[in-house]
Structure 1
Amino acid sequence: MTAAPVTADTSSDLPPGYDPALYNADLAPVPAARRDWSWVNMATVWMGMVHNIVVYEAASGLMALGFSAWECLEIVAVAYAVLFVAMWFNARAGTKYGIPFCVLIRSAFGPYGAQIPVVLRGFCAVFWFSVQAYAAAQAVDAVMSTLSGAWAGMTASFLGMQARTWVAMAIVWALHAWIVSHGVHRIRNFELVAGPLVIVVGLLATIWGLHVGHGLGPLFAQPSRLHGMAFWSTFAMGVTGMIGLWATFAVNIPDLSRFVKSERDQVVGQAIGLPVTALVFTPMGIITTSATIILFGHPIWNPVDLLLALNYPVVTILGGATLVLATLSVNVVANIMPASYDLVNLMPRRLDFHRAARLVLVLGVFFMPWLWFNQADSIYRVLDLIGGMLGPVTGIMLADFYVVRKQALDVAALYRLDGRYAGRKGWNPPALVAFAAGGGLASIGHVVPGLEGLNAVSWFIGVAIGGGVYLALSRRQGQDMWNGADDTASLPSTAS
């Protein structure tokens, strides 16, 4: 079932009483009849996101800390179980009311205050899109350079990057544009194919690794180098680091769950697509890398480097195409889609989903990822700080929906500047204070010497402090919010 693409909203489509600064067709609740994603769609979307280059290489980071391969799998299991629970509960409002993150967050922060977490999430999304897309461009460049001497000869440089890499970037950017050109329904259909296909290719690579290694390989035989308290503190840091890969998506999971048929489809789809896929994909990476130790004498965790080292044209083409497909699969859902909704939320009268998606592609170029790509420490330090600020947002959203609102929202009021969620002139002080307190404590270990140990549990600190402070201040403020709202409030007739 494929729905017609949504066009930009006009003033005549504005439901009575709604503010045009807070509403357009893409931000409107999705009616029940249009929520046509099943658990299969939700699972394949997550499959497409979980098996990407960053997650593939994450196992190398854990093993570099001293963990054994089996302990890496334990860390992955714990981290993704926590993520699954957080996303399960945070996705419920999207499934129930059909509203995206940037609208749902107004309930806690107010219509103007909500722009702070929305802008932070949008910044992370555009930045990650830029970096991931550039990684795919490098894969295209490596494959084409191997297969074509003419391509490899394009060595002229412009703005610090070779001409052939510019062409590779143009190809990758054009592929992203094609996938998002018909909105979320094309994204759903693309993930239905891309997610399982990448898993199939990963299984083929795993079979190759088992053949070369005559079993699980040397990495699975490597013992742990961590014991006692050193083990547990590093284990906590590893879990937090794995959660950090998806902490930003934990806040905007309603962007996906708003299209799902039922709560059961949402839960089953996420359970299969998130923790189960992660536990399947991680050993694939370890087994494949074990084979590289036998073949080359050292581990090769970067898939592009592995393709070049193997130097088989057929394998290079297949592997390179799979890397590009995997990057497209994660980028369109985890980065372009939320960033587009965030931009629409900032300018609902000027942007729709399609225009915003094109703007994300343009902004991605201006982030100049080729200048950042080889400075991983700087990238992750900045993004860790921003991601640490989004932990409290998760806590505040959960506290607001489940405790303060008792899972009942007045949907129409979310689109009004003077509604029950307006706070003080569009700003809700309890959420803002909780956001600052949780974000500050979650990130303090990055800037204050002696408190680095807090980084091991920064996301958990952010969620707990953000949610706890928000509840305390909301109760003290004695707002009408504690009475809940009528969840049968009228929904606008305009479909998203």
Structure 2
Amino acid sequence: MRVTNPSPALYNEDLAPAQERRWGAFSIFNVWTSDVHSLWGYYLAASLFLLCGSFVNFVIAIGIGSLVIFALMSMVGNAGVRTGVPFPVLARASFGTFGANVPALVRAVVACFWYGAQTAAASGAIVALLVRSPGMLEFHQNSHLLGHSTLEVICYVIVWALQLLIIQRGMETVRKFQDWAGPAVWIMMLFLAIYLVVKAGTFSFGERIPQDVLLDATKDAGSFGTPGSFPALAAVAATWITYFAALYLNFCDFSRYATSERALRTGNLWGLPINLLAFCLVAGVTTTAAFDVYGEVLLHPEAISAKFDSWFLALLAALTFAVATLGINVVANFVSPAFDFANVFPRQIDFKRGGYIAALIALVLYPWAPWETGAASFVNFIGSTMGPIFGIMMVDYYLIRRGRIDVNALYQENGEFRFDGGWHRNAFIALIVGMIFSSILPTFTSILPSWWGIYGWFFGVAIGGAVYYVLRARGAARVQVA
């Protein structure tokens, strides 16, 4: 649809409802291959696979988690198809025309952190290849800058700059890039798995790795208890679901370009439960075979490729995984803040400028590298901050509005979504309450049980959404009485 007489403070062409919808099922599928098939995604998938303890447990834990992801992405994805608007504009329905800037900026900040994390992972793959040379290894060990080796800094800046080239022509270029990158990574992953299984001479699911060695190797993935136990499987599923917390919010940034809900459903079906199970299985089998070949639990694919005797194979693997990580950065961590920052100042910031701001923040963060913590704690804390936002938006869209929104009103300062001067008090009360229980108390106090943080995103969704629903219901009751 086309917007009539929009308020300049709420509108630019990038934020307008999508007019050209060219993303079929294959492009939606490749949103997920680009998002999942990264070095961070591989590390988390391999760790969680091994913590399942057996193939059956893996199918149960990762399978259930992947189905939940599919259901949640379909919810927000359908909203994108029906309205054609990006995440920060959709958030105006629940948070207010100007209040939506708060969840948009939360999502943008999270994307900046992940942008830096994924760029560092991609550059790390290049570093692992280069240090095969004795001269580069000496340079890497003896020259330092900004708290990192100078070689790491150089590779980070190069990879950081390359990503900016992908988005010069907007979202259509993003689609074309991911349609190429996603399948390329799958080919490389399968090659890596087959190569190591053949070299190992056996096919296994990690049962031969001694438990003490396994627990030591996966300690950064989180303390989930004994591998294969019920608490471990529940934590594996929860961490896997939480890993996608950022995209639960802004998947509509992509689904708005889908040709139909049917194309979205087909792309999500192949890209989420089917692709996720296959990806985790390949990552787990590859890691297990690498243990048989090299006698180490190597959870990072660049660490595996660094051991290849062939320079060509090592180069091919490093470049493929670097490209894969660029793919997820563009999809998950460039597109979102580009729209989010544009939403704050639509007259001054368009899609490209918003993306440049995100990239610049990631560059500034690099010396401190806040992402160099335990993977699960990083994933769970980042994800838990966004749980209440997702709960509020989905309750508003599906339970309060029954899936019907006046899209034109989303661009009007004095329309339906003005609430209290452009801010919706009920949404912010629910957001604060939800964040207290999802991230603040479990992170900064010991009031709650130690396991609470693993499920912080879920508590945020449930508590934030429930508080919002109750406040809206009470408000409606007062209006009826009056």
Match in the other structure for 1:103: 89
Deviations 1:317-370 (A, max 9, x none): 001001111101111001111011111111111111112222222111001156
Q: What amino acid maps onto 1:413 in structure 2?
A: A
Match in the other structure for 1:219: 206
Match in the other structure for 1:80: 66
1:162-311 residue pairs with structure 2 within 5 A?
162-217=149-204, 219-220=206-207, 231-311=229-309
Q: CA deviation at 1:433?
A: 1.6
Match in the other structure for 1:459: 457
Deviations 1:237-290 (A, max 9, x none): 221111111111101111010100100011110111112111111111111112
Identity across matched positions, percent: 30
Is the counterpart of residue 58 in structure 1 residue 55 in structure 2?
no
Q: Is residue 144–residue 152 contact of structure 1 (8 Å, CA) maintained in 2?
A: no
Match in the other structure for 2:117: 131
SS at match of 1:149: helix
Match in the other structure for 1:3: none
Deviations 1:146-179 (A, max 9, x none): 2583686475433223333232123212220111
Q: What amino acid maps onto 1:430 in structure 2?
A: N
Residue 394 (structure 1) aligned to one of 376, 384, 390: 390
User: CA separation of 1:138/1:382 partners in 2, compared to 1, >3 Å: closer, same or farther?
Assistant: closer
Alpha-carbon separation, structure 2, partners of 1:177 and 1:463:
33
User: CA separation of 1:163/1:400 partners in 2, compared to 1, >3 Å: closer, same or farther?
Assistant: same
User: CA separation of 1:108/1:218 partners in 2, compared to 1, >3 Å: closer, same or farther?
Assistant: closer
Q: Is residue 405–residue 481 contact of structure 1 (8 Å, CA) maintained in 2?
A: no
Alpha-carbon separation, structure 2, partners of 1:409 and 1:347:
23
Q: CA RMSD in A?
A: 2.7
Q: What amino acid maps onto 2:169 in structure 1?
A: H
Alpha-carbon separation, structure 1, partners of 2:100 and 2:154:
39
Residue 435 (structure 1) aligned to one of 415, 422, 431: 431
Q: CA deviation at 1:42?
A: 0.4
Alpha-carbon separation, structure 1, partners of 2:277 and 2:201:
22
Is the counterpart of residue 359 in structure 1 residue 345 in structure 2?
no
User: CA separation of 1:58/1:151 partners in 2, compared to 1, >3 Å: closer, same or farther?
Assistant: closer
Match in the other structure for 1:5: none
Match in the other structure for 2:221: none
Residue 327 (structure 1) aligned to one of 315, 325, 328: 325
Match in the other structure for 1:313: 311
Match in the other structure for 2:471: 473
Alpha-carbon separation, structure 2, partners of 1:238 and 1:51:
18
User: CA separation of 1:340/1:369 partners in 2, compared to 1, >3 Å: closer, same or farther?
Assistant: farther
Residue 348 (structure 2) aligned to one of 347, 350, 372: 350
Residue 442 (structure 2) aligned to one of 440, 445, 453: 445
Q: Is residue 102–residue 118 contact of structure 1 (8 Å, CA) maintained in 2?
A: yes
User: CA separation of 1:371/1:107 partners in 2, compared to 1, >3 Å: closer, same or farther?
Assistant: closer
Alpha-carbon separation, structure 1, partners of 2:138 and 2:309:
15
Residue 14 (structure 2) aligned to one of 12, 19, 26: 26
Alpha-carbon separation, structure 2, partners of 1:100 and 1:480:
32
Q: Is residue 213–residue 290 contact of structure 1 (8 Å, CA) maintained in 2?
A: no
Alpha-carbon separation, structure 2, partners of 1:481 and 1:329:
49
User: CA separation of 1:46/1:386 partners in 2, compared to 1, >3 Å: closer, same or farther?
Assistant: closer
Alpha-carbon separation, structure 2, partners of 1:369 and 1:422:
41
SS at match of 1:372: coil
Q: CA deviation at 1:445?
A: 2.9
Match in the other structure for 1:490: none
User: CA separation of 1:415/1:186 partners in 2, compared to 1, >3 Å: closer, same or farther?
Assistant: same
SS at match of 2:9: coil
User: CA separation of 1:312/1:369 partners in 2, compared to 1, >3 Å: closer, same or farther?
Assistant: farther
Match in the other structure for 1:11: none
Alpha-carbon separation, structure 1, partners of 2:75 and 2:284:
31
Q: What amino acid maps onto 1:217 in structure 2?
A: S
User: CA separation of 1:59/1:257 partners in 2, compared to 1, >3 Å: closer, same or farther?
Assistant: closer
User: CA separation of 1:417/1:148 partners in 2, compared to 1, >3 Å: closer, same or farther?
Assistant: farther
Residue 144 (structure 1) aligned to one of 109, 130, 148: 130
Worse-matched range after superposition: 306-315 or 214-223: 214-223
User: CA separation of 1:228/1:130 partners in 2, compared to 1, >3 Å: closer, same or farther?
Assistant: closer
Unaligned runs of 5+ in 2: 216-223
SS at match of 2:10: coil
Alpha-carbon separation, structure 1, partners of 2:358 and 2:207:
41
Q: What amino acid maps onto 1:118 in structure 2?
A: A
Match in the other structure for 1:8: none
Alpha-carbon separation, structure 2, partners of 1:303 and 1:469:
43
Worse-matched range after superposition: 224-233 or 192-201: 224-233
1:30-41 residue pairs with structure 2 within 5 A?
30-31=18-19, 34-41=20-27
Alpha-carbon separation, structure 1, partners of 2:3 and 2:260:
26
Deviations 1:443-478 (A, max 9, x none): 333333442233343322222222222111111111
Deviations 1:86-134 (A, max 9, x none): 1101111210121000000000010222122111111110110111101
SS at match of 1:407: coil
Unaligned runs of 5+ in 1: 1-13, 483-496
Q: Is residue 441–residue 462 contact of structure 1 (8 Å, CA) maintained in 2?
A: yes
User: CA separation of 1:229/1:175 partners in 2, compared to 1, >3 Å: closer, same or farther?
Assistant: closer
